[in-house]
Structure 1
Amino acid sequence: MSETSLTPPEASAAAPAPAQPGLLERWRARVAYQGLSLGAVCALVTLALLLGNQFTRGQIAAQQQEDQLAVLRQVLPATLYDNNPLAEALTVQDATLGAVEVYPARRGGQLTAMAFRVSTIGYGGAITQLIALDRDGRILGVRVLSHKETPGLADKIEVAKHDWITRFDGLSLGNPPLEQWKVKKDGGQFDQFAGATITPRAVVKGIVQALQFQVRHAVELAQPQEAKP
């Protein structure tokens, strides 16, 4: 009796060799390829950011200066100057306040007023004010530029929420006398806020510091400044 093969005919045929991966597929599996790919993506993103910054830098700078000028106009009457106080800004070293950036307002080359920033510590942190004085030391305007005081309780120092900050307009170091430059709780003439004395106290302190700074440097600030190249 002959033996019958149990092996299927197709099984006896030689199996085809598996396809070999191409060069690109072999490279993709390597760590070096992945590192190069990541590096290329990072380089492209960096280039895009640099180009974007290059094309928008001038526009951003112009907008920032316009924003600063808008704040200056709130405290410096336009009739007092024909120069650009920001462009003529100068830094004055002061024994009490350190380096203070001053924005001089000039008309016909003569100093008519000045504005500068002063920071004091309130309840929540630093309170930065922009204070403008005429050349005789009278307050032209005060604005709070930044603060971290309690919302709804101490944020009346913002002119958009209360007129308290405008009550200093027209005052000077001798009007009222120095001992009156305090909140009423401390024996002075300025109102404090219900439940928030530290904040207005810090603002008044900053204004006094600005007035005293102007007195200390009045002669220096009145000198004509050399034009910047």
Structure 2
Amino acid sequence: MSELTPAISKNSKILALFAITCTAAVAVVQLLTADRIELQAQQQLIRQLNQVITTSSHDNEMFRDCILAPKDSNSDLLIDVIYRARLNNTPTAAAIKTVAPDGYSGNIELLIAINTDGSVSGVRTLLHKETPGLGDKIERRKSDWIDKFSGKKLLEENDNRWAVIKDGGMFDQFTGATITPRAVVKTVRKTIDYFQNNQDRIFTTASNCGVEP
């Protein structure tokens, strides 16, 4: 047994050295790639923002001009970050990251941009788990359905047009999938209402969200 002890001790030291070396290597790789990952995330965010707010309607860096969503006691929206668009320091639109919690397969993360006149500038689906071939038509690369929101407004507080056709509204549902578009329409409508009720606070609050996507 005593003859094995030195060998065991030696192997333990080798394994420990190997573990330390691997940990150091991982740390170095993370350090070297952190800036690149952050830059890629920033570029992706800029592309997403430019998809829902035209470049001609702003001259500021929207990804930096952003705030954590002000609370609204009258709203149950799950809002994360709001990115502001300005032209010559005048507010023109806001892109709001929010969630439709009642999709067929759970949360649907959305980026909803609204002009200061209350009209929708654009909507994009950021993340979802809806059924391929059915509910995934909320993706711009699968269908142009999401574009139907652009230019639309709430004409009044109880604007019944803001529903899928099956519910008497103006938005198409998908064949075999009504829950998904219904959830998106509902959240876009609630986001417009939130924006209209909080527009002054949205544009006067100092930026406080950093540059993270």
Q: Same fold (TM over 0.5)?
A: yes
CA distance in 2, matches of 1:104, 1:202: 25
Deviation at 1:175, TM superposition (A): 7.5
Alignment match, 2:167: 186
CA distance in 1, matches of 2:208, 2:99: 29
Identity %: 35
Give the length in aligned residue pairs: 204
- Match for 1:38 among 12, 15, 18? 15
CA distance in 2, matches of 1:27, 1:191: 75
Partners of 1:122 and 1:198 within 8 A in 2: yes
Q: Specify the code of the residue in structure 2 equivalent to 1:192.
A: Q
Bigger CA drift: 84-93 or 142-151? 84-93
Q: Tell me the alpha carbon deviations over residues 88-134 of structure 1, each in whole angstroms, 9 at most, x when there is no partner.
A: 22102323225531000112222111101121121111111111111
* 1:91 is aligned to 2:68: yes
Alignment match, 2:34: 57
Distance 1:98 1:125, change over 3 A: closer
- Match for 2:92 among 100, 108, 112? 112
* 1:215 is aligned to 2:196: yes
Partners of 2:138 and 2:181 within 8 A in 1: yes
- Please list every run of 5 or more consecutive structure 2 residues that lacks an aligned counterpart in the other structure: none
Q: Tell me the alpha carbon deviations over residues 158-184 of structure 1, each in whole angstroms, 9 at most, x when there is no partner.
A: 111111111111001118962121111
Helix, strand or coil for the counterpart of 1:104?
A: strand
* 1:101 is aligned to 2:101: no
CA distance in 2, matches of 1:99, 1:153: 26
Helix, strand or coil for the counterpart of 1:42?
A: helix
Q: What RMSD over aligned residues (CA atoms) do the two structures have, in Å?
A: 2.3
CA distance in 2, matches of 1:181, 1:167: 12
Helix, strand or coil for the counterpart of 2:133?
A: coil
Q: Specify the code of the residue in structure 2 equivalent to 1:64.
A: A
- Match for 1:131 among 94, 109, 112? 112
- Please list every run of 5 or more consecutive structure 1 residues that lacks an aligned counterpart in the other structure: 1-20
Partners of 2:79 and 2:97 within 8 A in 1: no
Partners of 2:64 and 2:207 within 8 A in 1: no
Give the TM-score taking structure 1 as reference length. 0.82
Alignment match, 2:51: 74
* 1:144 is aligned to 2:120: no
CA distance in 2, matches of 1:122, 1:109: 37
Alignment match, 1:27: 6
Partners of 2:111 and 2:125 within 8 A in 1: yes
Helix, strand or coil for the counterpart of 2:69?
A: strand
Deviation at 1:222, TM superposition (A): 2.8
Helix, strand or coil for the counterpart of 1:93?
A: coil
* Bigger radius of gyration: 1
